[in-house]
């Protein structure tokens, strides 16, 4: 029993509720939400150290024992993601302070933002399939409202599509839950894992596994990403950044959890299928990223490529591959927030997202340009930046497992990332400066600090990778050995 596990869920939720009561006081809202998220960072670091020393931590809510009650389980994988989530959310929150506008701040922006974090943290920590659904819905409902913040016409239009897609995916999620419950009679993930290994993963269960894969692929943007470019390019920058950083990652987390803990018996069917999906995702995402000349579109397609790449590590099911995926996942959470914040800042400065009308920004905004350059190199995987280790380990794992085609496609996709990011950099930052300071639509006042914060975090992740090696290795070991998880829940 470890009550610290509830803290990453309860802190943002409690603060959000308090903020609804004090809706009018903007200063209080800013301070409290910042304090809550900083406290979440502290708790996730504490949690990481406890997990390192004492193995996987569990909490049975209300003292009801494992298969009957609600379990929260924190393993190293969840704790690392929690830490990355809270760092990114602090960055986006600080960015929102000076960009979101007073009117939105009074219209419950901060409570909604905190509920989004609540749902994401809850999904990382829950040890129960149905609670995973509930946490998904918590952050989805928050995102339904956040995506329309500002109420512009195209936001309404895209949000409708986003919402309908997600509702249907959620319906499929529940169908999967119902099937799994009628087959196994339990929804606790550890208990599910035991029962499925007892009765064997027959065709029926594999079918249900594919159903879950479809659901989470829809959320993660694995092949079923048709909704993603539209809906991630409409909301205000801070919100788009947090969406790009976190929402697809929760889907990825769910795929990792389900296919390492529960449905791991038939990798030649399920994992190969994921591999094919990942390969197609990388190819299509790469084509999208290199084909468009719209800044926001390029960035959203880069989100899609990275989803495919992270999945490749899972497909390999080797220690190296999983380690690489975890590195890349953490790196990607940070880096996607950075590039979306920078992209949003560029749009804010120039008033357009069409690369043809943006040029030479580096003369007036050198910090922005170089931070983007660091982020771009990091995405491609240039050492010693944070993307490097993830790329190396994932590729190594994929080749070890014999999926040469997947590894090659992954490397080719990296080239397309390089191409698209350099295209963006050259177009937006180099060339003739066409806008003078007076002509710019906005200022970068207050916007650079959060970006710099996240860039420092990302560079630190790359340069100081030695410090988290132990944590990542433990996370990979726990993912590859479901018995550790099961024992922790039923201790």
How many CA atoms within 13 Å lie on the side-chain side of 458? Answer: 37
User: What is the per-residue burial (b if ≥16 Cβ within 10 Å, else e) of 191-200?
Assistant: bbbbbbeeee
What whole-number distance in Å separates Cα of residue 461 and Cα of residue 80?
12
Short-list 233, 226, 90, CA closest to 152: 233
3 lies in the site for other proteins, by CB under 8 A = yes
Residue 363: DSSP 8-state: G
From candidates 38, 144, 287, 383, binder to other proteins by CB under 8 A? 144
24 lies in the site for other proteins, by CB under 8 A = no
105 lies in the site for other proteins, by CB under 8 A = no
424 lies in the site for other proteins, by CB under 8 A = no
Helix crossing, 129-146 with 248-257: angle to 10°?
170
Nearer CB in complex with other proteins: 17/415: 17
Short-list 7, 25, 259, 212, CA closest to 117: 7
- Shortest CB 166 distance to other proteins, Å: 9
- Shortest CB 132 distance to other proteins, Å: 12
| Contacting range for other proteins; rule: CB under 8 A; set: 46-54, 179-187, 203-211, 442-450 | 179-187
35 lies in the site for other proteins, by CB under 8 A = no
Residue 479, phi then psi, degrees to nearest 5: -70, -35
Residues forming beta bridges with residue 72, ordered by sequence position: 59, 126
Query: Which residues in 54-73 contact other proteins (CB under 8 A)?
Result: 59-63
| Contacting range for other proteins; rule: CB under 8 A; set: 156-164, 194-202, 431-439, 474-482 | 156-164
From candidates 51, 177, 347, 406, binder to other proteins by CB under 8 A? 177
| Contacting range for other proteins; rule: CB under 8 A; set: 99-107, 153-161, 332-340, 458-466 | 153-161
Question: What string of DSSP letters covers 126-174?
Answer: B-BHHHHHHHHHHHHHHHHHHTTTT--HHHHHHHHHHHHHHHHHHHHHH
214 lies in the site for other proteins, by CB under 8 A = no
Nearer CB in complex with other proteins: 344/369: 344
107 lies in the site for other proteins, by CB under 8 A = no
Please state, as a whole number, how many other Cβ atoms lie within 10 Å of the Cβ of residue 53.
Answer: 7
What whole-number distance in Å separates Cα of residue 237 and Cα of residue 101?
12
Burial of 316 (0-12, 13-18, 19+ CB in 10 A): buried
**Which two three-digit tokens encode residue 443?**
């200022």
Nearer CB in complex with other proteins: 168/463: 168
Residue 263: DSSP 8-state: S
Binding mask 227-256 for other proteins (x = CB under 8 A): ---x--------------------------
Nearer CB in complex with other proteins: 133/212: 133
From candidates 24, 53, 182, 466, binder to other proteins by CB under 8 A? 182
- Shortest CB 141 distance to other proteins, Å: 6
What whole-number distance in Å separates Cα of residue 247 and Cα of residue 249?
5
296 within 8 A of 343, measured Cβ to Cβ: yes
Please state, as a whole number, how many other Cβ atoms lie within 10 Å of the Cβ of residue 335.
Answer: 30
39 lies in the site for other proteins, by CB under 8 A = no
151 lies in the site for other proteins, by CB under 8 A = yes
- Shortest CB 17 distance to other proteins, Å: 4
Nearer CB in complex with other proteins: 171/426: 171
From candidates 21, 198, 200, 436, binder to other proteins by CB under 8 A? 21
CA dihedral 343, 348, 351, 354 (to 10 degrees): 0
From candidates 31, 35, 42, 167, binder to other proteins by CB under 8 A? 167
Give the footprint of other proteins on this chain (CB under 8 A): 1, 3, 6, 10, 13-14, 17-18, 20-21, 23, 59-63, 130, 133-134, 137, 141, 144-145, 148, 151, 153-154, 156-157, 159-160, 163-164, 167-168, 170-171, 174-175, 177-179, 181-182, 187, 230, 294, 297
């Amino acid at each position: 029993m470890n009550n610290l596990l509830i803290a990453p869920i309860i802190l943002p939720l409690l603060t959000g509720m308090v903020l609804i009561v004090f809706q009018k006081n903007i200063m209080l809202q800013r301070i409290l939400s910042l304090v809550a998220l900083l406290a979440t960072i502290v708790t996730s670091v504490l949690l990481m150290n406890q997990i390192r020393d004492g193995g996987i931590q569990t909490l049975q809510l209300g003292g009801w024992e494992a298969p009957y009650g609600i379990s929260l389980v924190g393993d190293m994988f969840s704790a690392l993601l929690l830490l990355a989530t809270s760092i990114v959310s602090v960055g986006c929150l600080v960015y929102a302070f000076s960009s979101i506008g007073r009117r939105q701040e009074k219209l419950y922006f901060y409570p909604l933002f905190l509920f989004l974090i609540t749902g994401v943290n809850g999904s990382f920590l829950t040890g129960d399939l149905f609670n995973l659904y509930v946490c998904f819905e918590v952050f989805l409902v928050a995102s339904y409202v956040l995506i329309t913040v500002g109420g512009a016409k195209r936001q309404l239009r895209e949000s409708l599509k986003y919402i309908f897609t997600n509702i249907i995916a959620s319906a499929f999620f529940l169908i999967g839950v119902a099937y799994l419950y009628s087959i196994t009679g339990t929804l606790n993930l550890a208990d599910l894992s035991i029962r499925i290994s007892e009765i064997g993963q027959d065709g029926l269960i594999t079918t249900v596994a594919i159903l879950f894969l479809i659901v989470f692929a829809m959320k993660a943007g694995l092949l079923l990403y048709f909704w993603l470019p539209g809906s991630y390019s409409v909301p205000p920058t801070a919100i788009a950044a947090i969406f790009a950083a976190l929402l697809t990652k929760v889907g990825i987390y769910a795929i990792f959890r389900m296919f390492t803990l529960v449905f791991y018996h038939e990798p030649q069917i399920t994992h190969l299928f994921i591999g094919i999906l990942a390969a197609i995702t990388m190819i299509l995402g790469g084509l999208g990223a290199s084909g468009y000349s719209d800044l926001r579109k390029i960035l959203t397609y880069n989100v899609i490529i990275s989803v495919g790449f992270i999945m490749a590590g899972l497909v390999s099911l080797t220690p190296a591959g999983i380690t690489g995926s975890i590195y890349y996942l953490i790196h990607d959470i940070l880096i996607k927030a950075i590039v979306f914040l920078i992209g949003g800042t560029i749009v804010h400065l120039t008033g357009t997202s069409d690369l043809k009308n943006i040029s030479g920004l580096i003369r007036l905004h050198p910090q922005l340009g170089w931070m983007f350059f660091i982020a771009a190199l990091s995405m491609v995987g240039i050492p010693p930046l944070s993307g490097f280790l993830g790329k190396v380990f994932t590729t190594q794992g994929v080749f070890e497992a014999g999926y040469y085609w997947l590894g090659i496609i992954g490397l080719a996709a990296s080239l397309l990332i390089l191409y698209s990011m350099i295209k963006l950099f050259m177009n937006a930052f180099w060339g003739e400066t066409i806008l003078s300071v007076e002509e710019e639509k906005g200022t970068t006042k207050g916007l650079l600090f959060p970006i710099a914060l996240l860039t420092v975090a990302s560079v630190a992740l790359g340069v100081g990778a030695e410090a988290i090696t132990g944590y990542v290795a433990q996370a990979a070991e726990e993912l590859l050995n479901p018995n550790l998880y099961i024992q922790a829940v039923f201790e």
